[in-house]
Homo-oligomer: A and B are copies of this chain.
Amino acid sequence: MTTDTPQDRLSRAKEASRETARLTSDDKVRALESIARGLEENAETIIAANRRDVENGRAGGIGDSLIDRLTLDDGRIAALARAVRDIAVLPDPVGQVVGGHRMPNGVALEQVRVPFGVVGAIYEARPNVTVDIAALALRAGNAGVLRGGSAARESNTVLVQVMRDALERAGVTPEAIQTVDDFGRDGAKALMNGRGFVDVLVPRGSAALIETVVTESTVPVIETGAGNVHIVLDESAPDDWAREIVVNAKVQRPSVCNAVETVLVLRQAAPRLVPLVASALQSEGVAIHGDDMVAGLMSNIIPATDEDWATEYLGPEIAMKVVDDLDEALAHIRTYSTGHTESIITTDSRNAERFLAEVDSAVVMANASTRFTDGGEFGFGAEVGISTQKLHARGPMGLAELTSTKWLARGSGQTRG
C-alpha cells in the first residue's frame, strides 16, 4: 500500500464511482468474471495470507467459531468465485425506470435507478464479506470502500489486491475497490465521517459494531442485522407446525440473525405445546431458559431472567415464556424485539392477521420459519444484509437497495408560471 491517507482513498473511490456509474451491464459482467477468475488463479496466495491471520488469531486466543468464520480453504475460495459469478448474472438495477409521467406543460419526467456512488462497508472477521460487498457494490455501478476486521487483515489485503488487479485486466479502474484496513481505527473514522465522499455506509457484524457505526457516523447508514427473533405459539397452533417450525428456526443454523431466540406460548396452549416443543428442542441439544410456568411443565429448564428476553443467543439456547394472551405476546415483542423477524403459529386467521398488522418488524410471518428472512430465500439472488431500520430499505436487501434514483426532466423551453 502507498503512503496516502484514508481521505485520499475516499477521493479516489468517488472519482472512480463516476466511471463505474457509466459502465454498461456487459462491462460489469466482464469485470466480475475477471474477479472470479482472479480469485481462482490466486487461491494459493490468498490461502497463505489467510493462514497467517488464522495463526495470529490462534496465538491471540480467539475462539473456534471465530476461527472457523475466518478460515479460507480451496472449497471456500471456489464458493467465493461462484458467488461473484452469481452476482454477475443478476439483472442490472441501474437504468431501470421506476416512475415518471408527463407534466401538464409537456415536460417529460422520468425517475431512474442510478448507482449510489460510493458504498462503504464496515464489518468483522469474515473475509468472504470483502469479496461479497465489493462484487455487489460493483454490480450496482458503485465503487466500494471496505473496512474489515483486523483479525482478517492479511486475507483482506490480498483479496483486495486480487480484485483490483482483476478490474485492471478487465479495463475498469482499480480505484473502484478500496480498503482502509491499513489505517486501523482512522480508516473506520474516515468512512463514518466521509460526508460528500461516502454515499451510504453498511455495517455488518455484532450489535456493538452496528451501534458504534450508527452512533458515530455523519454519513447515511443502513442499520443491519441484530435479530432478537420471536415465535408465538397461539392456542390454535397445530402440534406439528409448532414443533417443526420452532426446531427449524432454532437448530437449522443457530448462529445467524434470523434464528429464533424466544418462544412465547399462549397460556391455554401451554400444557400441550410446552412439553412437545421443549422436548424436541432439548433432543437437539438446545438449552431452554424458561419462566416458572415453563419450568412447571418441563424438566431441565434453566430459570429465565429479564436478561434472557433481551438476549440474542446465536447458539443452541432459547428463551421460553408463557403469556396470558396475544396482547401480552405483542407487548413482550414490542419491548424486546429488534424489529428483524417474528412469526406466529396459528390456524386462527383473526390472530394471524392481527399479528401481521400490529408487529412492527421488517418481516412478520404466520406459520413459517423465521429462517426464511434471507435475500436468497426472498429471490434476490444475493444479499447485502438485512435492514432493521425503516429508512430506504427494510428486511433483506438486494441489488436494488444499493442504488438511488434520480429524476430526469426533458423540456422544450418550459418556465414556471
Residues of A within 8 A of B (CB): 18, 21-22, 101, 103, 107, 109, 111, 114, 116-117, 195, 199-200, 214-215, 218, 220-222, 238, 240-241, 244-245, 247-249, 252, 343, 352, 356-358, 360-369, 371-373, 377-379, 389-392, 394-395, 404-416
Q: A22-B357, A369-B415, A409-B364 are in contact. Are A391 and B109 (CB under 8 A)?
A: no
**A369 — which chain B residues lie within 8 A by C-beta?**
411, 414-416
The complex places the Cα of A275 from the Cα of B379 at a distance, in Å, of: 59
Question: Would you give the shortest CB distance from A98 to chain B, in whole angstroms?
Answer: 11
Contact of A368 among B107, B111, B366 (CB under 8 A): B107
Asked whether, in the complex, the Cβ of B248 is within 8 Å of the Cβ of A368, the reply is: no
Question: Would you give the shortest CB distance from A291 to chain B, in whole angstroms?
Answer: 25
Question: Would you give the shortest CB distance from A247 to chain B, in whole angstroms?
Answer: 8
Main secondary structure of the interface of A (DSSP, over half): mixed
Asked whether, in the complex, the Cβ of B409 is within 8 Å of the Cβ of A366, the reply is: yes
Asked whether, in the complex, the Cβ of A415 is within 8 Å of the Cβ of B117, the reply is: no
A111-B395, A367-B413, A391-B392 given. 19 additional CB < 8 A pairs?
A22-B358, A107-B372, A109-B378, A117-B360, A195-B214, A200-B391, A220-B391, A240-B413, A244-B413, A247-B415, A356-B410, A360-B406, A364-B408, A366-B409, A367-B411, A367-B412, A373-B407, A394-B404, A395-B407
Asked whether, in the complex, the Cβ of B22 is within 8 Å of the Cβ of A409, the reply is: no
**Which of A199, A221, A247, A392 has its CB near the most chain B CB atoms (within 10 A)?**
A392
The complex places the Cα of A361 from the Cα of B114 at a distance, in Å, of: 11
Q: Which residue of B lies closest to A201 (CB)?
A: B391
Asked whether, in the complex, the Cβ of A407 is within 8 Å of the Cβ of B363, the reply is: yes
Question: Would you give the shortest CB distance from A90 to chain B, in whole angstroms?
Answer: 16
**Which of A362, A371, A407 has its CB near the most chain B CB atoms (within 10 A)?**
A407
The complex places the Cα of A117 from the Cα of B221 at a distance, in Å, of: 19
Asked whether, in the complex, the Cβ of A415 is within 8 Å of the Cβ of B371, the reply is: yes
Asked whether, in the complex, the Cβ of A394 is within 8 Å of the Cβ of B390, the reply is: no
Asked whether, in the complex, the Cβ of B365 is within 8 Å of the Cβ of A409, the reply is: yes
Asked whether, in the complex, the Cβ of A415 is within 8 Å of the Cβ of B244, the reply is: yes
The complex places the Cα of A20 from the Cα of B22 at a distance, in Å, of: 44
Contact of A367 among B343, B363, B414 (CB under 8 A): B414
**A357 — which chain B residues lie within 8 A by C-beta?**
22
The complex places the Cα of A404 from the Cα of B114 at a distance, in Å, of: 21
Question: Would you give the shortest CB distance from A151 to chain B, in whole angstroms?
Answer: 27
Question: 5 shortest A-B CB distances, which residue pairs?
Answer: A368-B411, A248-B415, A390-B404, A392-B392, A371-B416
Q: Can you list 15 contacts pairing A with B, beta carbon distance less than 8 Å?
A: A18-B360, A107-B365, A111-B395, A195-B214, A199-B391, A200-B390, A214-B218, A247-B415, A362-B406, A364-B406, A364-B408, A367-B413, A372-B409, A372-B416, A395-B407
Asked whether, in the complex, the Cβ of A411 is within 8 Å of the Cβ of B366, the reply is: yes
Q: Which residue of B lies closest to A367 (CB)?
A: B411
**A22 — which chain B residues lie within 8 A by C-beta?**
357-358
Asked whether, in the complex, the Cβ of A377 is within 8 Å of the Cβ of B103, the reply is: yes
Question: Would you give the shortest CB distance from A198 to chain B, in whole angstroms?
Answer: 11
Question: Would you give the shortest CB distance from A29 to chain B, in whole angstroms?
Answer: 20
Asked whether, in the complex, the Cβ of B394 is within 8 Å of the Cβ of A405, the reply is: yes
The complex places the Cα of A378 from the Cα of B378 at a distance, in Å, of: 33
**A215 — which chain B residues lie within 8 A by C-beta?**
218
Contact of A248 among B343, B367, B390, B416 (CB under 8 A): B416
Contact of A391 among B244, B360, B391 (CB under 8 A): B391
